[in-house]
Amino acid sequence: MCAPDIALLEPLAQTLDATVLELISGARAKQETRPENVDSAVQEVLRYSEQEITRKGKTIRKRSLLAAVGVCLALLLALPVLNGTLGGDGFAWRCIPAWLCARNAARALEDYDKEGIEHYIGNAGGIYEALEELREQGVVIRNAEASFSRTRLDDMFLFTELELTVQQESITYLLTCQGTWRNGKVEWMQIYVPSVGYDGPEWLPQLSEALATYDPG
């Protein structure tokens, strides 16, 4: 018995998309995985992963931004209410512009800003000159801050409060001055009311009188 002519099997192998060896053995040969196919699959997986990471990152950023906006809105609504609830004093929305004006007035005092003093403080004539005179004597306002928690409405009277840090030579004094807000400006009351036999710093009554711009009329 002679061996089959392999050349006769080649047309059939081409038709069946097989090899002559596969025809003779009657089974498909196991195909090896091509490296280029593996690289392509890996690159596709990596590309998909990068896209997912980018998409999730954008989603997280959007959610974080929305959460931050929500917190800010909540604080905007809650803080004024807490100001009245925790402090035991009444609250009105005009406490906010009153505090902003008092804050700007405090900054003007700290910076010795004549224009700011006259713009934010009512009846401010003479304040700047008095502060400059005290500064020449070595009495300097180092810090001035309006207290938001003490800005309140009490018996239809809108109170503001100013905290002052005044330095004379090596001594630092912490002072508090109350006032009110009306007609778009703050008016301060006296820091200290001098009494008979007062033996404190000589400049304190001067500073108190300079800042006492409140007009009860």
User: How many CA atoms lie within 13 Å of 95's alpha carbon, on the beta-carbon side?
Assistant: 27
In this predicted structure, the answer to whether residue 88 has a pLDDT above a threshold of 50 is no
Which of 97, 193, 216 lies closest to 146, judged by CA?
Answer: 97
What is the model's pLDDT at position 132? Answer: 96
Name the pLDDT band for 207 (thresholds 50, 70, 90): very high
User: What angle is formed at CA 43 by the lines to CA 38 and CA 44, rounded to 5 degrees?
Assistant: 100
CATH number for region 95-211: 3.10.450
The residue ranges of every structural domain in the chain are 31-88, 95-211
In this predicted structure, the answer to whether residue 87 has a pLDDT above a threshold of 80 is no
Rounded mean pLDDT of 156-163? 87
Name the pLDDT band for 151 (thresholds 50, 70, 90): confident
What is the model's pLDDT at position 164? Answer: 94
Tell me the pTM.
Answer: 0.59
CB 160 within 8 A of CB 179: yes
Name the pLDDT band for 172 (thresholds 50, 70, 90): very high
